[in-house]
Amino acid sequence: MTNEQYLKNQGEETKAYIEKIKKLLESEVDENLLLALQLLDTGGIPAELLTHLYAIGITYSNYHIADTATELFEQNAPADLLEFTQHQWIFNDPLTSGENTIGDFLEATQNITHFDTPTLANLILKFGAVGGAYCLKYHTAPTLTVLQQLYRGESLLLNDFGLTKLPPEVGAITGIKYLGISGNQFTEIPDELQALVTLERIHFTDTPLSDISIQKLETFFPAAMANHYASSGRNAFQEKDYSLASKHMLKAIDLDSSQADYWNTQGVILGRLKKREEAIRFFDQALTLNPQDTLSYSNKAHMLHLLGREEESLIAANLGLKVYAQHVNVSHSWKPTLYFRKGQALFHLGRYDECHEAYNQCIQLNPAFGGAWFNKACAYARQANKTEMLSSLSKAIDLDSKFRQDAPEDPDFKVYWQDADFLALINHNPDHHE
């Protein structure tokens, strides 16, 4: 005797079977889902499991399982449900959709008789890591459960959720290192957040936090808020608002004075504000915190050069280069620049042969360093070596055409401004030269 479609029978035993199958479908274990799908294929598809099949079909990471679930759904869904999923709302890739799109979709399913929207929302969140905003808004599951589903890779991202209140349950997920709460509507921060003792970064752009809430965050998470202000400072720097950049960076240093990068960045900002003596003090503090900070050595050498203190600039560049000799694991990112700074100082000290050696080291490490070729040309011009001057200037222009405009304005080349070969190289019309 066969008992086909037994899962559509009424009775307590069938209900118990269905609950077991639900647990298999919700387990996120491939073997369990395959078993559940096999049981449904042979035992029939109860109406209350259509939601599970649809959710798995559009979100599950194993394509074979997702395709099998979709096939079973399409074979058993009533006409109105198929009409909605196949024609009125085609939703092929929810994993790339934003919270607003997911929310609109889930709200539309509330009017579909054969869909259990809370279950659908919870499964999409579980399998696809999207739809959290809807789940929190409509309380499809306990708030902490929803937040735990959103917590991935030590990050909790609630950006653009439209939240009018930050759930205090966030504080119960104590392993959070990055908290994203940008694009929400709440103004207050719950005290429970101070339990997030491992928090390293927090973003709250376009969330109208009150001054008291900002002060709370600074008290709860000084290092994370320092990171926030440092990021704001860098953004202001990119926008060339150096006064605002300095304000943000000083706030970062006030909250966390242990970060050499903050001191170095503030030094660069002060340089743009023409506060060069003060900038050097910030570079020195960066080097006190991190004696292997070759970028700070480079920036200090440059600032001393701008102050005309070439001997000190040379010392700073050499100290930076010495780091590489003493610490083989230090990144060599700034080594070409340090040789460039060294060459620059030697040039202004009139030590042209040594400056060529420094620029050659720079070019050996980075052949595309156009400034080194240009400065070599300047040095050769000072040495009245026309052949090498033209050769170096030609290489600089090949790397960056801006040097074609710089050369006829640089006084190092003044003696050649009317020279035919020089003018031919820069394609300059002598009648236009003042």
CA 86 to chain centre: 37
Query: What is the per-residue pLDDT across 305-349, written as a single tens digit (0 to 9) for each?
Result: 999 999 999 999 999 999 999 998 899 999 999 999 999 999 999
CA distance 203 to 408: 48
C-alpha Rg value of the chain to the nearest Å: 33
Structural domain boundaries in the chain: 1-141, 142-220, 369-434
Q: Is the pLDDT of residue 215 over 50?
A: yes
Confidence of residue 151 (pLDDT cuts 50, 70, 90): very high
Q: What percent of the chain has pLDDT over 70?
A: 94
Q: Model confidence over 258-268: pLDDT tens digits? A: 999 999 999 99
**Per-residue pLDDT tens for 270-308?**
999 999 999 999 999 999 999 999 999 999 999 999 999
Asked if 248 and 232 count as a contact pair (C-beta separation under 8 A), the reply is yes
DSSP sequence for 41-102: HHH---GGGHHHHHHHHHH-S-HHHHHHHHHHHHHHS-HHHHHIIIII---S-GGGS-HHHH
Burial class of residue 274, CB neighbours in 10 A (0-12, 13-18, 19+): exposed
Stretch 104-129: mean pLDDT? 92
Q: Can you read off the two tokens belonging to residue 392? A: 């170096």
pLDDT band at 432 (very low <50, low <70, confident <90, very high): very low
**Which residue is it, tokens 């570079």?**
283
Residue 2 has pLDDT above 90, yes or no: no
Q: Give CA separation, 53 vs 24, 41, 71, 88, 124, in Å.
A: 12, 12, 9, 19, 11
Average of pLDDT values for 163-173? 98
Who contacts 424 (Cβ-Cβ below 8 Å, separation ≥6)?
none
pLDDT at 295: 98
Mean pLDDT of 402-417: 96
For the domain covering 142-220, report its CATH number.
Answer: 3.80.10.10
First to last CA, the chain: 107
pLDDT tier, 91 (very low <50, low <70, confident <90, very high otherwise): low
CA gap 158, 289 in Å, rounded: 35
pLDDT(60) > 60: yes
**Cα dihedral 207, 211, 215, 217 in deg (nearest 10):** -10
Residue 339 Cα distances to 290, 384, 397, angstroms: 20, 23, 20
Q: Which two tokens stand for residue 370?
A: 């156009």
201 strand-pairing partners: 178
pLDDT at residue number 43: 87
Residue 8: the pLDDT is: 63
